[in-house]
Chains A and B, each alone.
Chain A
Amino acid sequence: MSLTLPRTDASPQHAGTLTKPRAIDGPVGGAYRVAGEGRVNRDRPMLFTFDGRVISALEGDTVASALLASGIHLLGRSFKYHRPRGILTAGSEEPNALIGTDRGPGRREPNTRATVQEVFEGLRTTSQNRWPSLRFDIGAVNDLASPLIGAGFYYKTFMKPRGFWDKVYEPLIRKAAGLGTAPDAIDPDIYTSRYAHADVLVVGAGAAGIAAALAAGRAGASVMLVDEQTEIGGGLLSDPDAVIDGQPAWNWLAAAAAELDGMANVTVLPRATAIAYNHQNMVAVAERLTDHLAEPPAGMPRERLWRVRAKQVVLAQGALEKPMVFAGNDRPGVMLASAAHTYLKRYGVLVGKQIIVASAHDSAWATAAALAEAGAYVRIAEARADVPGPVRQRAVDAGVEFDFSMVATGTAGRDRVYAAQLQLLRDGEPRGGDWFPCDTVLMAGGWTPSVHLFSHTKGKLRWDSKRQAFLPGECTEACVAAGAGAGVWGLDGALKTGSEAGASVASAAGYEAEPAKVKVQSNCFGDVGSIAEAAPGSYASAKAFVDYQNDVTAKDVRQAVQEGMRSIEHVKRYTTSGMATDQGKSSNINALLIAAEALGKSPPEVGLTTFRPPYTPTTFGLFANHHRGATFDPERRTSIDAWAADNGAVFEPVSQWRRARYFPRSGENMDAAVLRECATTREACGVFDASTLGKIEVTGPDAAEFLNRIYTNPLAKLPVGKCRYALLLGEDGYIRDDGIIGRLSETRFHVTTTTGGAARVLAMMEDYRQTEFTDLKVWLTSSTEQWATVAINGPKARKVLAPLVDGLDIAHEAFAHMSIAECAVAGVPARLMRASFTGECGFEVNVPARHGRAVWEAIWASAEPHGGCVYGTETMHVLRAEKGFIIVGQDTDGTVTPDDAGLAWALGKKKPDFVGKRGLMRPDLTASGRKQLVGLMTEDPTLRLPEGAQIVRGPLQPPPMPMIGHVTSSYRSAALGRTFAMALIEDGRSLIGSKVELPTLDGERQSAEVVKPMFYDAENARLVGEPA
């Protein structure tokens, strides 16, 4: 048998073709595989690589189980001290066994938990945080220097000198710290999402969750059962020896799975992690679809984000076993007892041959017995003084040796543990003790119910002192906790509370439901004790780890308390305990117990840190989902956009619109194209797509009065057929928007807004219409997308347009500047406005959007023979600035009043009220020293000031100089033959004729003269245009 691995780089470790007999160490499936045990498929062997070494695995393996089967315990180096680390758990809570995975080009992922990643043929994995190699790692000197880098090390050490932080400390810390390396290519995978609605969502498909789903499903409720593992079963998958209703557990499980599968009202999602519990029973579920496949089907999403809205939720997340805190509890070969149980019973892997079990609860005894039955030498150090008879008997029968009141207090070894120190507890103090040779130390420090999702709801947790655990208390959502997650230990309790929970939530959702009665004949769980530190406080200098992923020791937690941290939130931040990607799943309770002991308080007095979504590390891809690249945000296009694209337009985004910025001809850069478009428009004419302007149809008997109150200008008496430039303020008196308002009839107005302001302005108008000016009969309709708008500007604009117009005389006298009328243009019904944003004779042709391109093409066909051009937003900006017309949001910033902008003439001072009138009377808005809009002419006529450049009084001021304003708009002008700018300057109008200075980034200063913001045709003579 041979296989081909995808070739991604030239490293000899990543050879192309591998032949099994040459490459494999030991037997198929690994030397530590136990005959007759496990759910792995012995008929489906597969190969993958770890640091280039080819590893044999079986279908159903995780990377962790396959490595353990080959006797590999050393998987990586720790975050801070670079200590050798192995596999602690068999689940998603794993803090240590983080690897890099490579699923082909662009599909490299760091910090994947080896205990979660399923093996497939050809998978490449690598260890992390080591250099040059896993066994010889330079960073391990940190371990020797560890007395220097304890709790609060970063806070204390890198304070001085201040300038060192950016240049020296941070780069060094960044280089030394961290785990895997980030991928360097764009993620080629796609991610998807969908909503789901269910009567009942069951989170966790262990015994409790399955029982709940069965009870609710049988009652007829629509049920979703989600579980993070590859198949449903949870703890049952590791417990084939249990007997349920007279059947072996796995037979019961298979029957339950088949029954659930057969119910049309039940959806079962494996590989689906409930990552967040949001308001009103909306639970986010991350489903993994392809990470376990050697050859994912093309186009298949990698992950799917489910947003499940459930009437009722059952939380059956189970419990996590807790490590014990003792010196050297992090060496490869030291792991949780439950993990060893799972590796044996689910994966058929014996984690060691000479095993010490440090126990504080009964289930560890069942594990010990199972390991002994599989052929290992096992010795239990039980912290409690005794265990129940049946628990002890099975261990005796299996040949397990044991001592009571005994704890593990130390280990020896480097890349793998080789000895453990066991000491007797007398009056709570460890005494005497011997070193015992071993290759594995198992920890069973108690069980911690998984209350993470419950905590997301802000439900109250209550401390259970007997279980030494927080349990779900008062609930804020429609949810019920069941099984070990509710502190109910054992299989019978899980099935009973699960079934009851399922029945009760189905009843709450309106179904008649009964809990099932299930009888459990054999059950390994038993009584649960709990200990955190084997020998509290005795590890002044030892590496007794609490948080493995962030390398936080018991000593660090005690030191934090000693240095004044009183709340667990402070201890957490000072030590970083619980702040790694595992969110302290295996460490939080131990950290709390140690801090509480050091403070002499009870754990609930010290508090528990807040669990936050996501429950497990989740890809950015899942959250970004379809919102990337072209679908990051919707792109709006006008009906003329395609013509612009066909004719070489360069586009720019303007709010959500794609707008033509300029139309370069061959060889032109932006500056050249814009200068040409500006000159052509002023000399002949220019055609511009203004369709993106916001448009609002305001109708009704009180439409005029409504607009009169909303806008600053006097609009009540605006004659039919006329237009007016209008300003919109907030109640605070600052400019919000501007536009042109045209009156079509007594009761109908055509209102335009800025491109970006359309939705905001309509929302503001609606607010006043619905909630303040309720006495007015008026109706507002957004018509932005109903009209395509073509602006024609220039002395020849009338010549271009007149031949296309029917039903209207557009001569200068007949159709004066600032008029509006209905007519036909190019045979299409149109609203024609005579208005100008350039200072030239101008028309704006509004036609129904579906005719936009045809009318545009007709106008362009007419304009081209007159020497006209099409122009884009950049030319529009220059031409309006030459006339001193503002762009709201560019020359204003939300703190500019009409007077600041030189637009006080637009205020209807005689009106009793308009929005913003009272605001303009505020003392700060009438005081001197306000920034006013002025023009700037640089001394050097070729110099274009950067927009945003700061302005100071000049010259000869010593730094620091007070900044008196900034440049808002700055361009090259074809008409002026030089550059010009607009700026907001304190009392700017009083500075007209004087000089200001602008410090530049290179340390120089530019000098400019303050001028009126009117650079071209101050008499407005050009508005007339040539006759048709």
Chain B
Amino acid sequence: MLLIYCPYCEEERPEAEFTYAGQAHIVRPGNPSDMSDDEFAAFLFMRDNAKGVHAERWRHTHGCGRFFNVLRDTVTDKILMTYKAGEPRPALSTEAAQ
């Protein structure tokens, strides 16, 4: 079981309190009806399948209830850092990524 640091509660809590919520930084377009079928399909269906660092959303469901972002290495399953929703994806130094 992972320990996840909630950037809102500012505490490390067990994974059981959290829910995974898909890839991060996918912004719902302001007016989806203006999108072409291809653009909409890319928004709706296409997701990264990273080997390595993956930016993803988690929700502290059984805690503060907030959605936030996580950088996780999909090879080691290690969480490298967490940050609040709406913040840009931080650049990771090479050491941190390892």
Hey, which bits of chain A sit against chain B, CB under 8 A? 278-280, 282, 307, 309, 458, 476, 731-732, 763, 766-767, 770-772, 774, 912-913, 917-919, 921-923
Partner of A771, one of B61, B67, B78: B67
CA distance A731 to B76 in the complex (A): 32
Q: For B61, list chain A residues within 8 Å (CB).
A: 763
Contacting residues, chain B, for A282 (C-beta < 8 A) = 1
Residues in A with CB closer than 8 Å to B41 are: 922
Chain A residues positioned under 8 Å from B32 (CB to CB): 731, 913, 917-918
Bound Cα distance A921, B85 (Å): 30
**Cα-based distance from A963 to B72 in the complex (angstroms):** 44
User: Given the complex, which residues of A lie within 8 Å of B54, measured CB to CB?
Assistant: none
Residues on A with beta carbons closer than 8 Å to the beta carbon of B28? 731, 772
B66 and A913 within 8 A (CB): no
B92 within 8 A of partner (CB): no
B1 and A279 form a contact (CB under 8 A): yes
Asked whether B44 is an interface residue with its Cβ less than 8 Å from the other chain, the reply is yes
Identify 20 residue pairs between A and B in the complex whose beta-carbon atoms are under 8 Å apart, listed by A's number: A279-B1, A279-B77, A476-B76, A732-B44, A763-B19, A766-B65, A766-B67, A767-B21, A767-B59, A767-B67, A770-B66, A771-B67, A771-B86, A772-B28, A918-B33, A918-B35, A918-B40, A919-B40, A921-B33, A923-B37
Bound-state CA distance A922–B41 (Å) is 9
Cβ < 8 Å to A, chain B residues 22-69: 27-28, 31-33, 35, 37, 40-41, 44, 57, 59, 61, 65-67
Are A913's CB and B40's CB within 8 A?
A: no
| Residue B9 lies at the interface, judged by CB distance under 8 Å to chain A | no
Q: In the bound complex, do residue B1 and residue A912 qualify as a contact, i.e. CB atoms below 8 Å apart?
A: no
B34 to chain A, nearest CB (A): 9
In whole Å, how far is B20's beta carbon from the nearest beta carbon of chain A?
Answer: 12
Which B residues form the contact surface with A (CB < 8 A)? 1-3, 19, 21, 27-28, 31-33, 35, 37, 40-41, 44, 57, 59, 61, 65-67, 76-78, 85-86
For B44, what are the chain A residues with a Cβ–Cβ distance below 8 Å?
731-732, 919
Q: A774-B86, A918-B32 are in contact. List 12 more A-B contacts (CB 8 A).
A: A279-B2, A279-B77, A476-B78, A763-B59, A770-B85, A771-B67, A771-B86, A912-B33, A917-B33, A918-B33, A919-B44, A921-B33
Q: How far is the CA of A671 from the CA of B3 in the complex (A)?
A: 52
Q: What residues of B have a CB within 8 angstroms of the CB of A767 in the complex?
A: 21, 59, 67
Contact of A922 among B1, B37, B85 (CB under 8 A): B37
B64 to nearest A CB, angstroms? 11
CB A341 to nearest CB in B, in angstroms, measures 40
In the complex formed, the residue of B with least CB distance to A284 is B1
Contact B40 A770 (CB under 8 A): no
Residues of A within 8 A of B21 (CB): 767
What is the CA–CA distance of A476 and B44 in the complex, to the nearest angstrom? 36
Interface of chain A: mostly helix, strand, loop or mixed: mixed
Which residues of A sit under 8 angstroms from B57, Cβ to Cβ? 771
Q: A918 vs B33: C-alpha distance in the bound complex, in angstroms?
A: 5
Nearest 10 Cβ contacts at the A-B interface? A918-B32, A772-B28, A770-B67, A280-B3, A918-B33, A279-B2, A771-B85, A771-B67, A282-B1, A918-B40
CA–CA, A840 and B61, complex, Å? 39
Q: Do A913 and B33 form a contact, CB below 8 Å, given A763-B19, A772-B28?
A: yes
Q: In the docked arrangement, what's the CA distance between A772 and B61, Å? A: 18
Q: Which of A279, A282, A772 has the most CB of B within 10 A?
A: A279
Tell me how many residue pairs across A and B have CB atoms closer than 8 Å: 55
**In the assembled complex, how far is the CB of residue B6 from the closest CB belonging to chain A, in whole angstroms?**
14
Which residues of chain A have C-beta atoms less than 8 A from B2's C-beta?
279-280
Bound-state Cα–Cα, A704 to B75, Å: 44
Given contacts A278-B1, A731-B44, contact A912 B31 (CB under 8 A): yes
Docked Cα-Cα span, A767 to B20, in Å, equals 12
Chain B residue nearest to A476 in the complex (CB): B76
For B67, the chain A residues whose CB sits under 8 A away are: 766-767, 770-771
Tell me the smallest distance from the CB of A489 to a CB of chain B, in Å. 31
**Which residues of A are found within 8 Å of B31, using beta-carbon distances?**
912-913
A771 to B56, CA, bound (A): 13
Residues of chain A contacted by B33 (CB below 8 angstroms) = 912-913, 917-918, 921
Query: Which of A278, A771, A919 has the most chain B CB atoms inside 10 A of its CB?
Result: A771
**Cα of A458 to Cα of B66 in the assembled complex, Å:** 31
Report the Cα distance A763→B20, complex, angstroms. Answer: 12
Expressed in whole angstroms, the Cα–Cα distance for A375 and B40 within the complex equals: 85
Which residues of the other chain, A, contact B40 by a CB distance below 8 angstroms?
918-919, 922
Question: A309's closest neighbor in chain B, by CB?
Answer: B3
Nearest A residue to B12 via CB reads A280
Q: How far is the CB of A894 from chain B (nearest CB, A)?
A: 15
Cα distance A349–B67 when bound, in Å? 63
Give bound CA distance, A918 to B76, whole Å: 38
Q: Which residue of B lies closest to A307 (CB)?
A: B1
Which residues on A sit within 8 Å (CB–CB) of B76?
Answer: 458, 476
| Complex alpha-carbon distance, A566 and B88, angstroms | 47
- Complex CA gap A280/B2 in Å reads 6
Q: Which residues of B contact A919 (CB under 8 A)?
A: 40, 44
Question: Taking the nearest CB of chain A, how far is it from the CB of B79, in angstroms?
Answer: 9
**Contacts of B86 on A, CB cut-off 8 Å?**
771, 774
Q: What distance in Å separates the Cβ of B58 from its nearest Cβ neighbour in chain A?
A: 12
Closest B residue, CB atoms, query A733: B44
Report the separation of the CA atoms of residues A918 and B37 in the bound assembly, to the nearest whole angstrom: 9
Q: How far is the CB of B9 from chain A (nearest CB, A)?
A: 15
CA distance A866 to B65 in the complex (A): 47
Residue of B at shortest CB range from A762?
Answer: B65
A278, B15: Cα distance in complex, Å? 12
Give A780 Cβ to nearest chain B Cβ, in Å: 9
How distant is A538 from chain B, measured CB to nearest CB, in Å? 43
A279 CB contacts on chain B under 8 angstroms: 1-2, 77-78
A-side contacts of B35, CB under 8 Å: 918
Chain B residues lying within 8 Å of A458, measured Cβ to Cβ, are: 76
Residues of B within 8 A of A774 (CB): 86
Smallest CB separation, B21 vs chain A (Å): 7
Interchain nearest-CB distance for B28 vs A (Å): 5
Q: Bound state CA distance, A772 and B19, in angstroms? A: 18
In the bound complex, what is the Cα–Cα distance between A280 and B77 (angstroms)?
10
Determine the distance from Cα of A770 to Cα of B78 in the docked complex, in whole angstroms: 26
Q: Which residues of B contact A731 (CB under 8 A)?
A: 28, 32, 44
Taking CB atoms, residues of chain B closer than 8 Å to A772 are 27-28
Report the bound CA distance from A1023 to B25 in whole Å.
48
Taken together as a complex, chains A and B put the C-alpha atoms of A917 and B31 apart, in Å, by 10
- Contact residues in B for A307 (Cβ distance below 8 Å): 1
Q: Which residue of B lies closest to A780 (CB)?
A: B65
Q: How far is the CB of A1004 from chain B (nearest CB, A)?
A: 42
Residues in B with CB closer than 8 Å to A771 are 57, 67, 85-86
Instruction: Please name all residues of chain A whose beta carbon is closer than 8 Å to the beta carbon of B3 when the two chains form the complex.
Output: 280, 309
Q: A458, A770, A772 — which one has the most chain B CB atoms within 10 A of its CB?
A: A770
- Which of B3, B31, B32, B33: most chain A CB closer than 10 A? B32
The residue in chain B whose Cβ has the minimal distance to the Cβ of A458 is B76
A411 to B66, CA, bound (A): 69
Q: How far is it, in angstroms, between the C-alpha of A282 and the C-alpha of B65 when the chains are bound?
A: 25
CA distance A917 to B85 in the complex (A): 25
Q: Which residues of chain B are within 8 angstroms of A766 by Cβ–Cβ distance? A: 59, 65, 67
Q: How far is the CA of A282 from the CA of B3 in the complex (A)?
A: 10
Which residue of the partner chain A has the closest CB to B21? Answer: A767
Give the docked Cα–Cα distance between A279 and B78 (Å). Answer: 8
Closest CB in chain A relative to B78 CB, distance in Å: 8
Query: In whole Å, how far is B70's beta carbon from the nearest beta carbon of chain A?
Result: 14
CB proximity of A1027 to chain B, nearest CB, Å = 47
Residues of B within 8 A of A922 (CB): 37, 40-41
Residues of B within 8 A of A476 (CB): 76, 78
The answer for the CA separation of A919 and B21 in the assembled complex, in Å, is 20
CB proximity of A637 to chain B, nearest CB, Å: 21
Q: Write out the residue numbers on chain A whose beta carbons fall within 8 Å of the beta carbon of B85.
A: 770-771
Complexed CA–CA distance, A917 and B44 (Å): 13
Q: B37: which A residues are within 8 A, CB to CB?
A: 922-923
Which residue on chain A has the smallest CB distance to residue B1?
A282
Closest Cβ of chain A: how far from B72's Cβ, in Å? 11
